[in-house]
Amino acid sequence: MFDSNHTSVNEKNHLTLGGCDSVELAKEYGTPLYVLDETVVRERCRFFVDSVKEYYGGNGLILYASKALSCMALYRIAKEEGMGVDVVSGGEMYTAYKAGFPMEKVYFHGNCKTPEELSMALDLGLGRIVVDSVTELRQLASIAKEKGKTANVLFRIKPGIDAHTHDFVKTGQIDCKFGLALETGEALEVIREAVETEHICYCGVHCHIGSQIFDIDPFCEAAHVMMRFIKEIKDTCGADTKELNLGGGFGIAYNEKDDPIPFGNYMEAVSRVVHEEAEALALPLPFILMEPGRSIVATAGSTLYTVGVVKDIPDVRTYVSVDGGMADNPRYILYQAEYHFTLANRAGDEKDAIVTVAGRCCESGDLLGENVRLQRPVPGDILAVSATGAYNYSMASHYNRLPNPAMVLVKDGTHRVIIKRESYEDIIRNDIF
């Protein structure tokens, strides 16, 4: 397992997660089962929070990007760790609210927020709304006016950086559904309008350059571009930019091939750029925000499945079908994402088989991995997939009317359910016959 010291193999040759025997967890709670290690989540939160203190004098806030995994238990942990959160929908906002999360530390993103969601954000007293278009700005101003409130806003900017290539491709980024373009002057124009708009309080700018990034340079480049833009805003609109939000996207290890950079290194490098630019441009240091999602929860999560059928097709491949698949983890079918697999009930055994792990949905592409090295599986084995804490439960579907699995929080040998397994009754609860 990767990036975590909290998995091991016990005397029964079973995989342990957060000090719990995973085979026992599968027996007690059934499969498929999401398992989340609280110690790892908190450890990850602290890396981020501490590095803002260490490298930026604490003049910032880490926002957990809750799209990675949104549930009440996670908002509670984020609150206890002194973080803010990023939400992208009324559903995430509502979950945070019901979990008692301090709403002034909630940042609301999205390229197509509905008027109802904007209204809800103002009613709940959300900290910031990250405006994505001029349409949204005008809509928000009119809703705020009706309510006699002022909306505190950031603007999402496309800094023109492609983090997925080593050469920064600075053109072509206009072709993105998120944010306001720098190159065309669109961003500046919209901010100028905001500064002059009643019921809108301009607080700062935001960018997010991508996800699962293993390079520091694109973050530094983004910080450069954004600081220069802050200067332009000051010079042309006379507005002070108090907050600079540099988004998330820090890479994690899904398997042996991935080599993540400690977050402190990102923060140290970005902090240096922001300090240098602030001095060169005679700007005050902005309050910094970062929005890690995957890097908070991914490696804390594992999924347990029961092997149902092993189908050996001579000279072709061996399909190992499990009782979950694309409905609980669509990342292979969507992105050919690679994971690390092990048989939890024979965790210490040699992996002497190469197999294709298939889900149970009526869809040939419903796979969890191909050419996967695994202990030779038989029906009834428990298959563990690691680093499934991010973008698994949050992207789960009900395809084939499969109920969503339960999620169990483990910590130092204890375990408790934080998301109940759906029942068939849950599946039909909104059907009208």
Amino acid at the residue 319: Y
Binding of ligand LLP at residue 158 (CB under 6 A)?
no
Q: Which of 18, 247, 301, 403 forms a contact with ligand LLP (CB under 6 A)? A: 247
Binding of ligand LLP at residue 253 (CB under 6 A)?
no
Segment near ligand LLP (CB under 6 A); pick from 97-105, 184-192, 241-249, 365-373: 241-249
Pair 117, 90: CB distance under 8 Å: yes
Binding of ligand LLP at residue 249 (CB under 6 A)?
yes
Segment near ligand LLP (CB under 6 A); pick from 51-59, 63-71, 161-169, 272-280: 63-71
Choose between 20 and 390: whose C-beta lies nearer to ligand LLP.
Answer: 390
DSSP 323: S
Q: Is the dihedral of CA 312, 313, 315, 318 positive or negative?
A: negative
Nearest to 406 by CA among 292, 299, 296, 301: 301
Pair 155, 131: CB distance under 8 Å: yes
Q: Which of 44, 208, 360, 411 forms a contact with ligand LLP (CB under 6 A)? A: 208
Which pair of structure tokens corresponds to residue 338? 């690679």
Q: Which of 14, 44, 105, 331 forms a contact with ligand LLP (CB under 6 A)? A: 331
Binding of ligand LLP at residue 211 (CB under 6 A)?
yes
Q: Is the dihedral of CA 251, 252, 255, 259 positive or negative?
A: positive
Candidate list 20, 45, 237, 362, residue with the active-site label: 362
- Strand positions, DSSP E, 170-266: 180-181, 200-206, 243-245
Choose between 292 and 377: whose C-beta lies nearer to ligand LLP.
Answer: 292
DSSP string, 117-155: HHHHHHHHT-SEEEE-SHHHHHHHHHHHHHHT--EEEEE
Q: Which of 17, 26, 68, 225 forms a contact with ligand LLP (CB under 6 A)? A: 68
Residue 368: is it exposed, middle or buried by C-beta count within 10 angstroms (0-12/13-18/19+)?
Answer: buried
How many residues form the binding site for ligand LLP (CB under 6 A)?
20
Pair 70, 362: CB distance under 8 Å: no
Binding of ligand LLP at residue 113 (CB under 6 A)?
no
Residues 391 to 410: which contact ligand LLP by CB under 6 A? 391
Binding of ligand LLP at residue 179 (CB under 6 A)?
no
Amino acid at the residue 167: D
Q: Which of 32, 84, 160, 248 forms a contact with ligand LLP (CB under 6 A)? A: 248
Nearest to 205 by CA among 225, 184, 235, 221: 225
Choose between 293 and 403: whose C-beta lies nearer to ligand LLP.
Answer: 293
Nearest approach, Cβ of 217 to ligand LLP (angstroms)?
17
Binding of ligand LLP at residue 109 (CB under 6 A)?
yes
- What residues are paired with 288 via a beta bridge? 60, 244
Q: Identify whether 362 is a catalytic site residue.
A: yes
Choose between 197 and 241: whose C-beta lies nearer to ligand LLP.
Answer: 241
Binding of ligand LLP at residue 250 (CB under 6 A)?
yes
Q: Which of 3, 21, 38, 86 forms a contact with ligand LLP (CB under 6 A)? A: 86
Nearest approach, Cβ of 61 to ligand LLP (angstroms)?
13
Residues 277 to 296: which contact ligand LLP by CB under 6 A? 291-295
DSSP string, 349-410: S---EEEEEE-SSS-TT-EEEEEEEESPP-TTPEEEEES-SSSSGGG---GGGPPPPEEEEE
- The region, left, alpha or beta by phi > 0 then psi within -120 to 50, assigned to residue 125 is left
Supply the residues annotated as catalytic: 362
Write out the residues near ligand LLP by the rule CB under 6 A: 65, 67-68, 86, 109, 208, 211-212, 247-250, 291-295, 331, 335, 391
